[in-house]
Structure 1
Amino acid sequence: MNAGFSVDTGVLLAGVLLLVGVVASGFTSRLRIPSLLLFLGLGMLVADDGLALVRFDNAALAQNIAVVALVVILFEGGLGTDPGAFRSVGAPAAALASVGVAITATVVALVAWLVMDLEPTTAFLLGSVVASTDAAAVFAALRSESLPTRTQQLLQLESGMNDPVAVLLTIGVLETWRADPGVTDWVWFLGVQLGAGVIAGLLVGRLGRWMVDRVSGTAAVSVGVVTLAIAGISYGAAAAVGGSGFLAVYLTGVVLTGSRRASRGVLYFHEGLAATMQGVLFLMLGTLVFPSQLTDHLGVAIVAAATLILLARPIAVALVLLPWRMPLRRMAVVSWAGLRGAVPVVLATIPFTAGHPDGAVIFNVAFVVVILSVALQAPTVGALARRLGVVGDERVRLRSEIIPVDAHDADLVEIRIPDDANVPSTTLRVSPPPAGARIAVIHRNDATVVAHGDTTIEAGDVMLIIAPRSSDLDEIERWGQSFVAPEAEPEPE
């Protein structure tokens, strides 16, 4: 008798690989080796050309799994984006995400056509596939680097918004190969992708924010699941009307950030989920490729990667950001930090599954371009920024965790003062919490301290603050930040 299922071995192997990847990434991070590259390597190791433990050659299924993973990653990226970034760098980010992608695709395509002697449609498909920066790779790289706030926001917004244009170019060139779409078709497709994506993202985000702010009772425990459902609705609603679901889900995350109780209370949940999906995504993409076939197109891939990194991206950044008079040093960092990741590989599955004669070539070249981008650019972004003097504010910043206490119509706010913070010697009588908030207890060096007027805050303290539901949680966090460092001066243009 056998009570097992056919999927049992696969579940065991997936769990082991994820665990190995996560544990190993802790060691590789010390060597500045991106964990995403490690998961790609693990995938290739267990696939047909490696240990042959997994056979996975279903590009259509891989495309669907990748879309789900990107939805989760983009939503978490939106939750981590300051809505004020749209006011400060929204215009240049939108220009990079649209005109910049088109310029990048054109330059790569022309070199592939005229220098590498690829067929015109193959060349332009390749340029379109690798033209957009990847949210997963960019968000992962920026978490470990200290760049100026505006530069970091610019890269985040660009990577969150540029997928629709890359999709438009890829599908447009593919349709040109199949038929002959006119200018009107191109304009209509782009308009619907962007317009429906923006409208669906903002509308679902506003409705979701209203809903999350009113979640109470037992449902409050599942706010993370509620926001994940909202992300799925945002993507599906936009896609149902022909819009860009990727753009929609990113904007929904940004809008939900305005609901501080929701976004901060579940941000850790989504960060962990997004990190898991990144590992799954790159692990799966590694199993999909055949390393023995990569060598057949290695020369083309290296030339394409060099063209993209050293020519196309710098030209696009320089031309697009010229009206904003961005310093050349900062342009150089923005150009180098335009990482490629899962999105180009996912887009490369479109011509592959559509039956294009060079679909396999495009996929293999795009895969090598991604490997080179992640391996060469991601570990060196910080070093380049420091070398050029494009570094951010090194102040220690705290993060707060908010837990709703619905029975008492209040919030329990936990504020952790970092261990290495330079805390001023100020009593709570001199610097009390904002009106309506009270420090319930302070956890200090494995001891519990009941706060009073003469209590001073020390590095490493964990403050538990009770605040009415009507309190301004931003004000409470600013008060907590005052024990770490003074308010930063606005970054110059």
Structure 2
Amino acid sequence: MTTPSLILLTAGVLMMLSVVASKMSDKYGVPALIFFLGIGMLAGTDGPGGIDFDNAWAANMVGTVALAFILFSGGLDTNWRAMRPVLARGAVLSSLGVVATAALVGLFAWAALGFPLPVGMLLGAIISSTDAAAVFSILRSRGVALRGNLRPLLELESGSNDPMAIFLTLGMTQIVSVPDFAWSGLLVAFLVNMSFGAAVGLLIGAGAGWLFNRIRLDNIGLYPVFGMSLVLVTFGTAELVKGNGFLAVYLCGIMMNRSDFAYKRTVTKFHDGLAWLMQIFIFLALGLLVNPSHLPGVAVKALLFAAFLMAVARPVAVAFGLWGSAFSMRERAMISWTGLRGAVPIVLATFPLMAGFEGSDMVFNMVFFTVVTSVLLQGTLLMPVARCLGVDEPLAPRPAYSLEIERFGQMQGETQEVEILPDMPVVGMAIADLDIPDDVIILLIGRGNDFLVPRGQTRLRPHDTLLLLGKGPTVRGAIETILSPAPVARVVNLPVDPLATLPLSTEEKYISKQVVVVGYGRVGRRVCDALAARGIPFVVAEQTRELVEELRGRGIPAVSGDASTAMALAQAHVARAAVLVITVRDAMKARQMVDIAITLNPDITIMARAASGMEATLLEQGQKGKIFIAEHELADGMVRDVLKCMRAGTPNGGKPAQKG
């Protein structure tokens, strides 16, 4: 008997096996989708699992929802700056290239394999979209990348060609299954479908960043949930107005990627994991839906079909789409070979199954067999082909952890990341030569698996990730300067206040794993003296310029400024500090310092003073460390001495103990 507990157990086991199988994908260089499909087939009717699943409508529903989230995640993770140089060519490949592939394959299925012409064209439409994610998963597992603009072109093509393939499939399904279907209406339907879908995606995507920044949710975990709701609203709205929902969610993701919204990294990572979950759902469902015992009956035709697709249709479509471009013949050959088929064609093959026309089962099996053949053959030979064509290169190291700082609390200004691409003119330039505003700070540089504290002489390298801090308009202006095709070297001017920043000659030990002491009054001075006596490096942040000049005269690193602002704490390099000691009396300003410090450095330990329990409660929220209340510390010190005296048997002849 099938019970809810058994269903949940089975689903959990299948998902767990799929996640574990992804490790085998990395090891053997075969896309994970093959393992996901294999697990689904083993669990199905013809496998040891014996699960009877033949509901094409349910599989199509799962596939549609999953594809919406996958495409949104792809758009959200799209580096638009990298796409710009290949935008025109990518658009041609994802539209006219898809039509050319569908037409060529459809004619072959009709002329060589004996399918009726409408069914052959339906097969061509279904199989016309590509899956570049499978390509890049293989390359990453081998530590290899593709040179030049190959990667952005393939990413753009694969992310944007699904809507065209879906439209063609739905149109051809109607032609095959609906008698006397009017062909003339397809052109109008195409224009409405694409234009309305694009409009909905662009409009919602443009407003999504604004919504994220103003909704002010109390729980951070609700921001990804809000992102999920945007996907459903975007897709549903586009479909409701007869637009293309898949195009809408993809463009919505791209628009959100271009905006700077609250908890962007959290939302992006969540949707990346959700996209993986959706892929597992798709392939498990489709693996369950297929009957492996039916595949041998279409094996010969499917192999010929796949061979024509890989050897003729794809290369011709690529040659057409890249005609007159700057891509070399080797690069065009690589683009032709990386036209792997993935989830979308198998999902699209469920539309004929739902239509139920004669031969729809054979269409599904043909597509399934072709996708598996494409992935196994092209995926396995991907590395040798790339190496033979000379278009591979070592994968550039990327930071293991994001440099993003989430905005919350009383932090002033905003932070933004910018990635230095290999073809940018700023590659090789020193930080001091960048013509960016003086009130914009480069906090950190992510390079490989390391974080670097930038100095004036630090030179930028390809794939460096810069974390900038400043006011919104100025930091965006700085990014435009960095991304400019011809950046202007800055004219070096002396800073308005040289005491506001540490000298370039400051030793590394004072800007990494150091102690930052805010305030140099009586308490701050005692803390600094104790640290100096023990050889512990520290930096002082003090608002009084005379004290800062005195400290620097004694060789003590110090910066002048209000430490309740992000700029002053950033100049003391709190982002790389081990401990922050706040010795000022103002509890409200101290609270702002705590918020800023945690934002810049979530792992920092904070010590602060408080005048009362209420102030201590205010300062303790959300930070690790200790709050010292003056009266409590005095009482604790006296108690310690009393206990020490009692254990020693009333020393000093009964005289009171003296505190030094």
1:97-112 counterparts in 2 under 5 A?
97-112=94-109
Preserved CA contact (<8 Å) 2:91 2:157: yes
1:274 aligns with 2:271: no
For residue 408 of structure 2, the aligned residue among 405, 409, 413 is 405
1:311 aligns with 2:308: no
Name the structure 1 match of 2:79.
82
1:132 aligns with 2:133: no
Preserved CA contact (<8 Å) 2:439 2:470: no
Deviation, 1:409, is: 4.8
1:135-174 counterparts in 2 under 5 A?
137=134, 140-141=137-138, 144=141, 145-174=144-173
The 1:408–1:293 alpha-carbon spacing in structure 2 relative to 1, beyond 3 Å, is same
In percent, how many aligned pairs have the same letter? 38
The one-letter amino acid paired with 1:268 is: K
The one-letter amino acid paired with 2:239 is: A
The one-letter amino acid paired with 1:10 is: I
The 1:137–1:172 alpha-carbon spacing in structure 2 relative to 1, beyond 3 Å, is same
In structure 2, the gaps of 5 or more residues are 419-429, 460-464, 488-660
Counterpart CA distance in 1 for 2:414 and 2:391 is 39
1:95 aligns with 2:92: yes
Q: Which secondary structure does the structure 2 equivalent of 1:146 belong to?
A: strand
Name the structure 2 match of 1:210.
210
Name the structure 2 match of 1:483.
none
Deviations 1:434-477 (A, max 9, x none): 8455869x9xx9xxx9x8999x99xxxx9999766777389699
Deviation, 1:76, is: 1.0
Name the structure 2 match of 1:422.
none
Counterpart CA distance in 2 for 1:254 and 1:359 is 36
1:187 aligns with 2:191: no
Counterpart CA distance in 1 for 2:358 and 2:92 is 33
Name the structure 1 match of 2:67.
70
Name the structure 2 match of 1:239.
239
Q: Which secondary structure does the structure 1 equivalent of 2:121 belong to?
A: helix
1:105-124 counterparts in 2 under 5 A?
105-124=102-121
The 1:111–1:324 alpha-carbon spacing in structure 2 relative to 1, beyond 3 Å, is same
Preserved CA contact (<8 Å) 2:66 2:278: yes
1:361 aligns with 2:362: yes
Deviations 1:416-449 (A, max 9, x none): xxxxxxxxxxx99999998455869x9xx9xxx9
Counterpart CA distance in 2 for 1:25 and 1:183 is 44
The 1:320–1:20 alpha-carbon spacing in structure 2 relative to 1, beyond 3 Å, is same
Preserved CA contact (<8 Å) 1:108 1:304: yes
Name the structure 1 match of 2:475.
472
Preserved CA contact (<8 Å) 1:77 1:139: no
Name the structure 2 match of 1:254.
254
Deviation, 1:397, is: 3.2
Instruction: Indicate the structure with greater helix content.
Output: 1
Preserved CA contact (<8 Å) 2:135 2:338: yes
Relative contact order: is structure 1 or structure 2 higher (C-alpha 8 Å, sep ≥ 6)?
1
Deviation, 1:245, is: 0.8
The one-letter amino acid paired with 1:172 is: G
The one-letter amino acid paired with 1:189 is: A
Name the structure 2 match of 1:482.
none
Q: Which secondary structure does the structure 2 equivalent of 1:377 belong to?
A: helix
Larger Rg: 2
The 1:394–1:434 alpha-carbon spacing in structure 2 relative to 1, beyond 3 Å, is farther
Counterpart CA distance in 2 for 1:11 and 1:472 is 49
Deviation, 1:308, is: 0.8
Aligned length: 464
The one-letter amino acid paired with 1:134 is: D
Preserved CA contact (<8 Å) 1:32 1:379: yes
Q: Which secondary structure does the structure 1 equivalent of 2:407 belong to?
A: strand
Counterpart CA distance in 1 for 2:132 and 2:272 is 13
Counterpart CA distance in 2 for 1:253 and 1:474 is 23
Deviations 1:340-397 (A, max 9, x none): 1111111111111101101000000100111111212224334322321213574323
Deviation, 1:211, is: 1.3
Q: Which secondary structure does the structure 1 equivalent of 2:406 belong to?
A: strand
| TM-score between both structures, scaled by the size of structure 2 | 0.63
Deviation, 1:228, is: 2.1
The one-letter amino acid paired with 1:372 is: T
Counterpart CA distance in 2 for 1:477 and 1:86 is 16
Counterpart CA distance in 2 for 1:100 and 1:414 is 34
1:251-400 counterparts in 2 under 5 A?
251-262=251-262, 263-391=264-392, 394-398=395-399, 399-400=402-403
Q: Which secondary structure does the structure 1 equivalent of 2:324 belong to?
A: helix
Preserved CA contact (<8 Å) 1:437 1:471: no
Q: Which secondary structure does the structure 2 equivalent of 1:84 belong to?
A: helix
- Of 177-186 and 159-168, the range deviating more from structure 2: 177-186
Preserved CA contact (<8 Å) 2:224 2:270: yes
Deviation, 1:411, is: 5.8
Name the structure 2 match of 1:421.
none
- Of 406-415 and 375-384, the range deviating more from structure 2: 406-415
Counterpart CA distance in 1 for 2:285 and 2:339 is 23
In structure 1, the gaps of 5 or more residues are 416-426, 480-486, 488-493
